[in-house]
Amino acid sequence: MRYFLRLVIALLLSVTTAATAQVGHAPDGSPYRDIRRGHTLTAIGGHIDGDGGRFGIGPHDGSVFGARYDLRTSRTIQLGLGIIYGQFDRLIVNPFVQRAQRTSGPVKQGVTFTEFDLQFNLTGEKTWHRLAPFVASGIGIAIAGATLADTSRYNFGRKLYFAPHAGLRFFLTRRIHLRAEARTDFWKVSYPVTFQQEPPLDPGTPGDPHAVIPDGHISEWTANTSFRIGLGFGFSP
Protein backbone atom coordinates (compact mmCIF):
# COMPACT_ATOMS: atom_id res chain seq x y z
CA MET A 1 0.00 0.00 0.00
CA ARG A 2 2.83 2.46 0.78
CA TYR A 3 4.18 2.10 -2.76
CA PHE A 4 0.74 2.92 -4.17
CA LEU A 5 0.43 6.10 -2.07
CA ARG A 6 3.94 7.28 -2.91
CA LEU A 7 3.33 6.77 -6.62
CA VAL A 8 0.03 8.70 -6.56
CA ILE A 9 1.72 11.66 -4.85
CA ALA A 10 4.64 11.61 -7.30
CA LEU A 11 2.30 11.51 -10.29
CA LEU A 12 0.22 14.43 -9.06
CA LEU A 13 3.37 16.49 -8.46
CA SER A 14 4.67 15.69 -11.93
CA VAL A 15 1.43 16.83 -13.56
CA THR A 16 1.45 20.09 -11.59
CA THR A 17 5.04 20.71 -12.67
CA ALA A 18 4.18 19.86 -16.26
CA ALA A 19 1.29 22.30 -16.39
CA THR A 20 3.55 25.09 -15.11
CA ALA A 21 6.35 24.23 -17.55
CA GLN A 22 4.07 24.42 -20.58
CA VAL A 23 3.66 28.20 -20.25
CA GLY A 24 6.08 30.14 -22.49
CA HIS A 25 7.07 27.24 -24.78
CA ALA A 26 6.89 27.56 -28.55
CA PRO A 27 5.03 24.63 -30.20
CA ASP A 28 8.28 23.05 -31.40
CA GLY A 29 9.82 23.33 -27.94
CA SER A 30 6.83 22.16 -25.95
CA PRO A 31 7.38 19.14 -23.70
CA TYR A 32 3.93 17.91 -24.78
CA ARG A 33 3.42 15.54 -27.70
CA ASP A 34 0.19 14.10 -29.08
CA ILE A 35 -0.56 10.44 -28.30
CA ARG A 36 -1.39 8.48 -31.43
CA ARG A 37 -5.10 7.77 -31.72
CA GLY A 38 -6.15 4.14 -31.59
CA HIS A 39 -6.15 1.15 -29.30
CA THR A 40 -3.43 -0.76 -27.45
CA LEU A 41 -2.49 -4.35 -26.66
CA THR A 42 -0.15 -4.71 -23.68
CA ALA A 43 1.75 -7.74 -22.40
CA ILE A 44 2.01 -7.55 -18.59
CA GLY A 45 3.97 -9.25 -15.83
CA GLY A 46 4.40 -8.57 -12.13
CA HIS A 47 4.22 -9.82 -8.57
CA ILE A 48 1.47 -9.79 -5.93
CA ASP A 49 2.15 -9.70 -2.19
CA GLY A 50 -0.37 -10.45 0.55
CA ASP A 51 -0.95 -12.48 3.68
CA GLY A 52 -3.89 -14.68 2.68
CA GLY A 53 -6.04 -13.52 5.59
CA ARG A 54 -5.77 -14.35 9.28
CA PHE A 55 -4.86 -18.00 8.60
CA GLY A 56 -2.92 -17.55 5.36
CA ILE A 57 -5.18 -19.91 3.41
CA GLY A 58 -6.15 -17.38 0.73
CA PRO A 59 -3.92 -17.26 -2.37
CA HIS A 60 -1.13 -14.71 -1.95
CA ASP A 61 2.51 -14.02 -2.77
CA GLY A 62 3.12 -15.00 -6.39
CA SER A 63 4.04 -13.85 -9.88
CA VAL A 64 1.45 -12.93 -12.50
CA PHE A 65 1.43 -12.53 -16.27
CA GLY A 66 -1.17 -11.76 -18.90
CA ALA A 67 -2.43 -9.10 -21.29
CA ARG A 68 -4.79 -6.13 -21.50
CA TYR A 69 -6.63 -4.39 -24.34
CA ASP A 70 -7.24 -0.64 -24.07
CA LEU A 71 -9.85 1.43 -25.89
CA ARG A 72 -9.36 5.12 -26.67
CA THR A 73 -5.67 5.20 -25.77
CA SER A 74 -5.36 8.91 -26.67
CA ARG A 75 -8.27 10.21 -24.56
CA THR A 76 -8.51 11.47 -20.99
CA ILE A 77 -10.83 8.59 -20.10
CA GLN A 78 -9.50 5.20 -21.16
CA LEU A 79 -11.23 1.82 -20.89
CA GLY A 80 -9.35 -1.44 -20.49
CA LEU A 81 -10.02 -5.16 -20.40
CA GLY A 82 -7.47 -7.54 -18.93
CA ILE A 83 -6.85 -11.18 -18.17
CA ILE A 84 -4.07 -12.19 -15.78
CA TYR A 85 -2.93 -15.55 -14.42
CA GLY A 86 -0.72 -16.32 -11.45
CA GLN A 87 0.55 -19.14 -9.24
CA PHE A 88 0.34 -18.23 -5.55
CA ASP A 89 1.40 -19.61 -2.19
CA ARG A 90 -1.26 -20.54 0.36
CA LEU A 91 -1.43 -22.52 3.60
CA ILE A 92 -3.75 -25.39 4.47
CA VAL A 93 -5.60 -25.45 7.79
CA ASN A 94 -7.15 -28.80 8.81
CA PRO A 95 -9.95 -28.17 11.35
CA PHE A 96 -10.37 -31.88 12.15
CA VAL A 97 -7.04 -32.54 13.92
CA GLN A 98 -5.12 -31.32 16.95
CA ARG A 99 -4.22 -27.65 16.98
CA ALA A 100 -0.48 -28.33 16.88
CA GLN A 101 -0.86 -30.26 13.63
CA ARG A 102 -3.56 -28.29 11.82
CA THR A 103 -1.43 -25.94 9.64
CA SER A 104 0.66 -27.16 6.72
CA GLY A 105 2.13 -25.77 3.52
CA PRO A 106 2.62 -23.55 1.71
CA VAL A 107 1.23 -25.10 -1.45
CA LYS A 108 0.64 -23.57 -4.88
CA GLN A 109 -2.75 -22.44 -6.19
CA GLY A 110 -3.48 -20.98 -9.63
CA VAL A 111 -5.78 -17.96 -9.96
CA THR A 112 -7.15 -16.29 -13.11
CA PHE A 113 -8.21 -12.63 -13.00
CA THR A 114 -10.53 -11.03 -15.56
CA GLU A 115 -10.86 -7.27 -15.12
CA PHE A 116 -12.61 -4.17 -16.46
CA ASP A 117 -10.53 -1.05 -15.93
CA LEU A 118 -11.47 2.65 -15.93
CA GLN A 119 -8.36 4.81 -16.36
CA PHE A 120 -7.98 8.59 -16.08
CA ASN A 121 -4.99 9.88 -18.06
CA LEU A 122 -3.65 12.88 -16.15
CA THR A 123 -2.10 14.54 -19.22
CA GLY A 124 -5.10 13.80 -21.44
CA GLU A 125 -4.35 13.26 -25.13
CA LYS A 126 -0.68 14.18 -24.81
CA THR A 127 2.54 12.99 -23.21
CA TRP A 128 4.85 15.16 -21.13
CA HIS A 129 8.48 14.40 -21.95
CA ARG A 130 7.13 11.07 -23.28
CA LEU A 131 5.44 10.34 -19.93
CA ALA A 132 1.70 9.82 -19.52
CA PRO A 133 0.77 9.30 -15.84
CA PHE A 134 -2.61 7.89 -14.84
CA VAL A 135 -4.83 6.88 -11.95
CA ALA A 136 -7.35 4.08 -12.38
CA SER A 137 -9.69 1.61 -10.76
CA GLY A 138 -10.41 -1.93 -11.82
CA ILE A 139 -13.18 -4.38 -10.96
CA GLY A 140 -13.16 -8.03 -11.86
CA ILE A 141 -13.59 -11.70 -11.03
CA ALA A 142 -10.83 -13.88 -9.55
CA ILE A 143 -11.25 -17.63 -10.18
CA ALA A 144 -9.02 -20.04 -8.26
CA GLY A 145 -8.13 -23.59 -9.19
CA ALA A 146 -8.65 -26.53 -6.86
CA THR A 147 -6.15 -27.52 -4.15
CA LEU A 148 -6.52 -31.29 -3.87
CA ALA A 149 -4.44 -31.49 -0.68
CA ASP A 150 -6.97 -29.30 1.18
CA THR A 151 -9.71 -31.44 2.78
CA SER A 152 -11.00 -28.71 5.13
CA ARG A 153 -13.91 -27.79 2.77
CA TYR A 154 -12.42 -24.34 2.24
CA ASN A 155 -12.84 -23.16 -1.34
CA PHE A 156 -11.69 -19.79 -2.69
CA GLY A 157 -13.97 -20.26 -5.70
CA ARG A 158 -14.95 -17.09 -7.59
CA LYS A 159 -14.41 -13.73 -5.92
CA LEU A 160 -15.38 -10.23 -6.95
CA TYR A 161 -12.46 -7.87 -6.40
CA PHE A 162 -11.68 -4.21 -6.91
CA ALA A 163 -8.27 -2.68 -7.49
CA PRO A 164 -7.35 1.03 -7.29
CA HIS A 165 -4.02 1.70 -8.96
CA ALA A 166 -1.75 4.39 -10.38
CA GLY A 167 1.15 4.44 -12.78
CA LEU A 168 2.53 5.83 -15.98
CA ARG A 169 3.20 5.07 -19.62
CA PHE A 170 6.55 5.94 -21.21
CA PHE A 171 6.35 6.21 -24.99
CA LEU A 172 9.41 4.82 -26.76
CA THR A 173 7.78 5.64 -30.11
CA ARG A 174 4.30 6.81 -31.06
CA ARG A 175 3.20 3.16 -31.27
CA ILE A 176 5.21 1.47 -28.51
CA HIS A 177 5.24 2.30 -24.81
CA LEU A 178 6.28 0.86 -21.47
CA ARG A 179 3.66 0.68 -18.72
CA ALA A 180 4.29 0.53 -14.97
CA GLU A 181 1.69 0.54 -12.20
CA ALA A 182 1.34 0.00 -8.47
CA ARG A 183 -1.96 -1.37 -7.24
CA THR A 184 -3.84 -2.96 -4.37
CA ASP A 185 -6.35 -5.74 -5.04
CA PHE A 186 -9.11 -6.20 -2.45
CA TRP A 187 -11.12 -9.43 -2.19
CA LYS A 188 -12.97 -11.28 0.54
CA VAL A 189 -11.89 -14.60 2.03
CA SER A 190 -14.80 -16.70 3.36
CA TYR A 191 -14.20 -19.60 5.74
CA PRO A 192 -16.16 -22.89 5.85
CA VAL A 193 -18.46 -23.84 8.74
CA THR A 194 -15.97 -26.60 9.65
CA PHE A 195 -13.71 -23.86 11.03
CA GLN A 196 -16.31 -23.16 13.74
CA GLN A 197 -16.58 -26.78 14.87
CA GLU A 198 -14.53 -28.44 17.58
CA PRO A 199 -11.97 -30.92 16.17
CA PRO A 200 -13.09 -34.53 16.87
CA LEU A 201 -9.56 -35.54 17.86
CA ASP A 202 -8.96 -32.55 20.12
CA PRO A 203 -12.25 -31.03 21.37
CA GLY A 204 -12.11 -28.01 23.59
CA THR A 205 -14.39 -26.67 26.29
CA PRO A 206 -16.62 -23.57 26.46
CA GLY A 207 -13.85 -21.80 28.33
CA ASP A 208 -11.09 -23.10 26.05
CA PRO A 209 -12.47 -23.74 22.54
CA HIS A 210 -10.22 -25.52 20.07
CA ALA A 211 -12.13 -24.61 16.90
CA VAL A 212 -10.18 -22.73 14.25
CA ILE A 213 -12.68 -19.85 14.51
CA PRO A 214 -14.28 -19.60 17.96
CA ASP A 215 -15.34 -15.94 17.57
CA GLY A 216 -17.85 -16.33 14.69
CA HIS A 217 -15.94 -14.12 12.23
CA ILE A 218 -16.16 -16.34 9.15
CA SER A 219 -15.08 -13.86 6.46
CA GLU A 220 -12.69 -10.94 5.99
CA TRP A 221 -11.43 -8.56 3.32
CA THR A 222 -7.78 -8.89 2.34
CA ALA A 223 -5.51 -6.33 0.66
CA ASN A 224 -2.94 -7.60 -1.83
CA THR A 225 -0.40 -5.10 -3.14
CA SER A 226 1.38 -5.55 -6.44
CA PHE A 227 3.65 -3.89 -8.97
CA ARG A 228 3.27 -4.62 -12.68
CA ILE A 229 5.17 -3.67 -15.81
CA GLY A 230 4.19 -4.12 -19.43
CA LEU A 231 5.02 -3.44 -23.07
CA GLY A 232 2.21 -1.92 -25.13
CA PHE A 233 1.68 -1.78 -28.90
CA GLY A 234 -0.69 0.81 -30.40
CA PHE A 235 -2.79 0.19 -33.49
CA SER A 236 -5.70 1.75 -35.36
CA PRO A 237 -9.12 0.05 -35.10
HSE-CB at 129 with a 13 A cutoff on CA atoms is 7
pTM of the model: 0.84
- State in Å, rounded, how far the first CA of the chain is from the last one: 36
The topology under which CATH files domain 2-20+33-192+222-235 is: Porin (2.40.160)
Handedness of CA 202, 204, 208, 210 (dihedral sign): positive
Phi, psi (5° rounding) for residue 3? -65, -40
pLDDT tens string for the chain (237 positions)?
A: 454 445 444 544 454 444 444 444 455 678 889 988 889 999 999 999 998 999 999 999 999 999 999 998 778 999 999 999 999 999 999 999 998 899 999 999 999 999 999 999 999 999 999 999 999 999 999 999 999 899 999 999 999 999 999 999 999 999 999 999 999 999 999 999 999 999 998 899 889 999 999 998 999 999 999 999 999 999 987
